[in-house]
Structure 1
Amino acid sequence: MTTTHTTAPEAPRANTTDQPYSLIGIPPHIGRALATAGGALAVVSTFLAWTWTAEFPGDLTVYGYPGGLQVLVLVGGALTTLFGLASYGVKGLRWLTPAGADSALKLAALGTFATAWYTIIAISVTLGGLVNLEPGGYVVAAAGLAAALGALSLPYQRPAPDPADPDDTGWEKFRHDTRTALGVFKAGFATGTPTPARKLPAYAEILVIVAALAIGLIVFTYGIGTEYDELFIGFLITTGFGFGALAKAGLVQRLTAITAEHRNVTLVGAFVAAAAFPFTQSDDQYASIGVYILIFATVALGLNIVVGLAGLLDLGYVAFLGVGAYAAAMVSGSPLSPFDIHLPFWASALVGAAVAMVFGVIIGAPTLRLRGDYLAIVTLGFGEIFRIAVLNMDGTSGPDLTNGSQGIPSIPNLSILGFDFGEEHSIAGFTIGRFANYFLLMLLITLVVVIVFRRSSDSRIGRAWIAIREDETAALAMGINGFRVKLIAFALGATLAGLAGTVQAHVTYTVTPEQYQFAHAVPPNSAFLLAAVVLGGMGTISGPLVGAALLYLIPEKLQFLGEFQLFAFGVALVLLMRFRPEGLIPNRRRQLEFHEEKAEAPTVLSKAGA
């Protein structure tokens, strides 16, 4: 008789790679409580005095009235508190975290800690030690530390290793189950699980868009109007972590979906919000920064057609801006212009745009048969050839057209239908100065460029550009005339840059060759333009606009760093490209290309929220 021995099946071992873990060993539920309490305590601390003397900028000596950097800590603490309460499922706050609360709470708490401790360190360094702190300073330091400890204790999710055979049906089932689990509502908000998105009525979605645009206007106005260096650095810290927290919570993704359904409303609302900016300023100081940002952003959007849609790497694009500026300067009545012509603005704008388009065709026709790095080298050479050519057209080395290094100065202010852009005007009880006038004019031109970009990208030629960008060989095999399509992109991008150049010539009064180098200390230049497109998000409308605004505003505000300005700026760009290579406002296709190895898109669902 044979005895058969049976053994109990081995209990399955836990897959440790799928288990959440904490960096510092504190249980997650305690971490959430610490982060939430730290955020709330930070809010309370802003109503206390942080130092005894008003020598530190912002006057942090007042009880009951936050000022300066206290306002930023107040915003960060409030955001941390709201995300913390949402993680506990507080009724009415669940909509804040459609993609999970843990990662959003983590970033908000770390942002509060960074802003609070930066302020404490700045006070100590400026005034000479911690002895200059009042009780509110110690309270905010403790609150920031508690928030940071709570953030570091929130669970992380280790990514599972790739199986040996990724085509195995079991692996496919695992991916499907994971995606389903991440997207479905689960009970227990304390674990930071995502919530399902509910369809809002149309009027409610429009109100959401209006609120988002109003918040954007407030943030931009506050950032551009920061009065001292410490406040601007704190603003960068708070907005950076705050935007990251909103993205991790899924609010940015949800807002993107809403604006996609109401594109016309979003476009009109953004235009109205931007037009309201000059009326929020008491003088013309920051309106000048605004008009230069719009010029920079408009040119970046034109470059986005060439780089973002058609995939053509153009390193000499700023030359087209210079072509438009020089052409407009020559026909706008400057006393040093070689032509005794004074055309109205609409005519000079058409001349600048047309000449830039002609140059785009002339340069593109023989070079667009090249690809990749070869095309980039040729366009870089064109940019330098333009600068050297206008530098030598001084009547000595060449024909007398551009006055050489002196450029064309004394360009008169614009006058349209009797409205002189160089004088102050009173509109609805508000007095707007010269730069505010040009800001509104440049805003109209930006609107035209946005409409052209949008219509072009949605058209048949736009789809051909995208096909060329994705795979030129396959596009040619499908019957697309690659050379003609790329030449149209090149010419259209040059036209838009030339149009912006016509306004730049009148705003700056003078056009000189040094303004149009590949790399220059002050944007716009080809390097900054390309960085704005990549930083903001290639192939999108809002991406280059946001990227250009940041790339102009940050160097403008970091001048106190002196020779270390470009170093700090470069470090910031490296960090951004490391953690968000697809850009701040990415195209959906590019976002998936950069994160195709993950089961979920990074802006929708986060690992910590899993």
Structure 2
Amino acid sequence: MTTQTSAPQTPSTPSAGTPTGLIGIPPRIGRALATGGGILTVISTFLAWTWTAAFPGDLTVYGYPGGLQVLVLIGGALTTLFGLASYGVKGLRWLVPAGADSAIKLAALAAFATAWYTIIAISTKLGGVVNLEPGGWIVAIATLATLLGALSLPFNRPEPDPIDPEDTGWEQFRHNARHTVSVVKAALATGTTTPARKLPAYAEILIIVAALAIGLTVFTYGIGTEYDELFVGFLITAGFGFAAIAKTGLVGRISAITAKHRNVTMIGAFVAAAAFPFTQSDDRYATIGVYILIFATVALGLNIVVGLAGLLDLGYVAFLGVGAYTAAMVSGSPSSPFDIQLPFWASALLGGAVAMVFGVIIGAPTLRLRGDYLAIVTLGFGEIFRIAVLNLDGTSGPDITNGSNGISSIPNLNILGFDFGQEHSIAGFTIARFANYFLLMLVITLVVVVVFRRSSDSRIGRAWIAIREDETAALAMGINGFRVKLIAFALGATLAGLAGTVQAHVTYTVTPEQYQFAHVVPPNSAFLLAAVVLGGMGTISGPLVGAALLYLIPAKLQFLGNYQLFAFGLALVLLMRFRPEGLIPNRRRQLEFHEDAEAPTVLSKAGV
């Protein structure tokens, strides 16, 4: 009896667990194609893309990128940089501690999406592809080749062990999460990810300075986009570019460095923000900047209530209104019923104190409620405040707030002889009214950041976090839950009232409709809560970034008309789908949403 042995079969498709890409190009060729395509993309931005200057940005110049070409240049440069790092080029491996393949995909997608958006916009606005110069065709082909090469790179995701079909959905989820953690640990053990090399202190400080300089440059560029197409391209490049950098692990590495040098980071961020008005040639964008700071400061105060203490407050904007109305009444305005004009420091303290009193009055009877019930009560308080100031017009009630007309003609601040309503020259730079208020609001923001940081690091801050995580367990450990929550409510209200005192002088007029739950123009309670969740609950920088985006994006999307809120809402849905923990999450919150994340040795109390 003979046994017939079959010849070994060569599989036509990769076996389970073999790293593969989305298309059939070998990864070695794909990596070379992506890197070479990135270089060609960079070169193409120095060519003319169209023959006429009718398209904004003047893309007719050879040798000098302009407008949307600059954004495509950035996408191509990132793709090239990550591609060279994937080859192990000395000095670049530090930039990709978690590997470069995923970052190459996203960077290539940034260049491709921005370039093809520009080509389509040129063809649509000028009347066809005949308006493209050779540079336009080259960049279209180069970015397409780059994307194809990037998509051929492997996804290093081995197949998990078979799942028991009798397991519940939660057990299957836990099974997949454990498998993902084992993959991460295996990658760390085999050296797939690059361990952080210990750097001297001066080098880490230089990295912080560079990161802050890049952040200031990106913010200044985004806020100063001159036309609609450029802002859309900026959103595409910034979104995919940030995602690519995050995939490399570089964001986490820099976050660890900033956490190590928190004081240096805070001072550097303050200096970078203070430099913003001096980068502007007029007061146009400083106007947006000061409103962003007001919005961000109030969001940071709300972060104490929502992010640290876990209390859902839907009427928080009312405390901003309390501070604004208080300052307006004692500012010397002819519409004020009180014939008094206090100095700014006195009106600021008074506005914060009155807001704190309202916070205690509202919080004392309601903070024994939890969850949805507390949210409903705070939402009711916000509406009660708006209706009350609307009716205090001398007809429906006492003449205190001047009803729907509000308190108008609020004079500009004058602190130690410095008139905030006049232009001033500082170090050869001329700054106007809104730039003056921007610098003042920056000081207020710094005060709020210090209060938030010291509070979160204190004993009461630990109690807030304990209440947020599990109130029943915190009460069992001896924490006075009601007192702790009332302190959070009062402190958050005080910070909002402090910001409101500046807002009253910036806007000249305070009216009831400014403090609705969902007013068209932020800040309002809905946008404030969204800024905290979008940026990252429980962190310092998260609400600041979230508030900046939530104010800047609607202001720049006005050209969409009736579709503005639709596009804005769609962007929020996508962001919450792919990054539910927020843009700059607290480490604890990141672990809640991503069980595959590597647990840190020490969990920070509040992120920077």
Q: Deviations over 1:183-221 (max 9, x none)?
A: 2464xxxxxx32121010000000000000001111100
- 1:160 aligned partner, one-letter code: P
Deviation at 1:176, TM superposition (A): 7.3
Residue 123 of structure 1 pairs with residue 115 of structure 2: no
- Cα distance in structure 1, aligned partners of 2:130 and 2:176: 60
Contact 2:160 2:176 in 1 (8 A): no
Equivalent in the alignment of 1:483: 482
Residue 57 of structure 1 pairs with residue 56 of structure 2: yes
- 2:105 aligned partner, one-letter code: K
Contact 2:531 2:546 in 1 (8 A): yes
Deviation at 1:162, TM superposition (A): 6.8
Deviation at 1:40, TM superposition (A): 0.8
Deviation at 1:178, TM superposition (A): 3.3
Equivalent in the alignment of 2:446: 447
Deviation at 1:21, TM superposition (A): 2.4
Deviation at 1:163, TM superposition (A): 4.9
- Cα distance in structure 2, aligned partners of 1:381 and 1:340: 32
Residue 182 of structure 1 pairs with residue 187 of structure 2: yes
- 1:182 aligned partner, one-letter code: A
Q: Structure 1's 522 and 21: CA in aligned 2 closer, same or farther, altered over 3 A?
A: same
- Cα distance in structure 2, aligned partners of 1:121 and 1:175: 40
- 1:34 aligned partner, one-letter code: L
Deviation at 1:154, TM superposition (A): 1.6
- Cα distance in structure 1, aligned partners of 2:563 and 2:181: 49
Deviation at 1:90, TM superposition (A): 1.4
Equivalent in the alignment of 1:326: 325
Contact 1:185 1:196 in 2 (8 A): no
Q: Structure 1's 589 and 391: CA in aligned 2 closer, same or farther, altered over 3 A?
A: same
Equivalent in the alignment of 1:316: 315
Equivalent in the alignment of 1:351: 350
- Cα distance in structure 2, aligned partners of 1:162 and 1:540: 39
Contact 2:532 2:546 in 1 (8 A): yes
Q: Which runs of 5+ in 1 are unaligned?
A: 187-192, 603-610
- 2:377 aligned partner, one-letter code: V
- 1:455 aligned partner, one-letter code: R
Q: Deviations over 1:30-58 (max 9, x none)?
A: 22122111211110001000000000000
Q: Which runs of 5+ in 2 are unaligned?
A: 601-608
Deviation larger for 174-183 or 441-450: 174-183
Equivalent in the alignment of 1:210: 209
Equivalent in the alignment of 1:34: 33
Equivalent in the alignment of 2:241: 242
Contact 2:392 2:400 in 1 (8 A): yes
- Cα distance in structure 2, aligned partners of 1:33 and 1:584: 32
Q: Deviations over 1:249-305 (max 9, x none)?
A: 011000000000000000000000000000000000000000000000000000000
TM, length-normalised to structure 1: 0.93
Deviation at 1:182, TM superposition (A): 1.7
Deviation larger for 38-47 or 48-57: 38-47
Deviation at 1:157, TM superposition (A): 3.7
Contact 1:184 1:195 in 2 (8 A): no
Equivalent in the alignment of 1:424: 423
Question: How does 1:40-189 map onto structure 2 within 5 Å?
Answer: 40-158=39-157, 160=160, 163-164=163-164, 178-184=183-189, 186=191
Equivalent in the alignment of 2:604: none
- Cα distance in structure 2, aligned partners of 1:160 and 1:174: 6
SS of structure 2 residue aligned to 1:338:
coil
Residue 470 of structure 1 pairs with residue 475 of structure 2: no
- 1:246 aligned partner, one-letter code: I
SS of structure 1 residue aligned to 2:119:
helix
SS of structure 2 residue aligned to 1:194:
coil
Aligned length: 585
- Cα distance in structure 2, aligned partners of 1:172 and 1:561: 41
- Cα distance in structure 2, aligned partners of 1:172 and 1:451: 38
- Cα distance in structure 2, aligned partners of 1:411 and 1:162: 70
Contact 1:299 1:497 in 2 (8 A): yes
Equivalent in the alignment of 1:189: none
Contact 1:315 1:518 in 2 (8 A): yes
Contact 1:178 1:599 in 2 (8 A): no
SS of structure 1 residue aligned to 2:31:
helix
Among all aligned residue pairs of Structure 1 and Structure 2, give the percentage whose two residues are the same amino acid.
84
- 2:251 aligned partner, one-letter code: V
Deviation at 1:599, TM superposition (A): 6.0
Deviation at 1:16, TM superposition (A): 5.3
Question: How does 1:538-557 map onto structure 2 within 5 Å?
Answer: 538-557=537-556
Equivalent in the alignment of 2:588: 589
- 1:425 aligned partner, one-letter code: H
- 2:410 aligned partner, one-letter code: I
- 1:181 aligned partner, one-letter code: A
- Cα distance in structure 2, aligned partners of 1:15 and 1:32: 19
SS of structure 2 residue aligned to 1:446:
helix
- Cα distance in structure 2, aligned partners of 1:522 and 1:174: 46
- Cα distance in structure 1, aligned partners of 2:386 and 2:314: 14
CA RMSD of aligned residues (A): 2.2
- Cα distance in structure 2, aligned partners of 1:549 and 1:509: 22
- Cα distance in structure 1, aligned partners of 2:348 and 2:245: 41
Equivalent in the alignment of 2:269: 270
Q: Structure 1's 209 and 326: CA in aligned 2 closer, same or farther, altered over 3 A?
A: same
- Cα distance in structure 2, aligned partners of 1:382 and 1:470: 26
Contact 2:160 2:179 in 1 (8 A): no
- Cα distance in structure 1, aligned partners of 2:26 and 2:46: 31
- Cα distance in structure 1, aligned partners of 2:374 and 2:177: 41
- Cα distance in structure 2, aligned partners of 1:162 and 1:344: 71
Deviation larger for 153-162 or 563-572: 153-162
Equivalent in the alignment of 2:605: none
Q: Deviations over 1:311-342 (max 9, x none)?
A: 00000000000000000000010001010010
Contact 1:595 1:601 in 2 (8 A): no
Equivalent in the alignment of 2:533: 534
Deviation at 1:75, TM superposition (A): 0.7
- Cα distance in structure 1, aligned partners of 2:156 and 2:88: 21
Equivalent in the alignment of 2:397: 398
Deviation at 1:175, TM superposition (A): 7.2
- Cα distance in structure 2, aligned partners of 1:424 and 1:249: 45
Q: Deviations over 1:232-252 (max 9, x none)?
A: 000011011110011000110
SS of structure 1 residue aligned to 2:466:
helix
TM, length-normalised to structure 2: 0.93
- 2:85 aligned partner, one-letter code: A
- Cα distance in structure 2, aligned partners of 1:330 and 1:171: 60
Equivalent in the alignment of 1:365: 364
Residue 388 of structure 1 pairs with residue 393 of structure 2: no
Q: Structure 1's 522 and 172: CA in aligned 2 closer, same or farther, altered over 3 A?
A: closer
Deviation larger for 578-587 or 13-22: 13-22
Q: Deviations over 1:115-143 (max 9, x none)?
A: 10000001001101100000000000001
Equivalent in the alignment of 1:567: 566
Q: Deviations over 1:361-385 (max 9, x none)?
A: 0000000000000000100111011
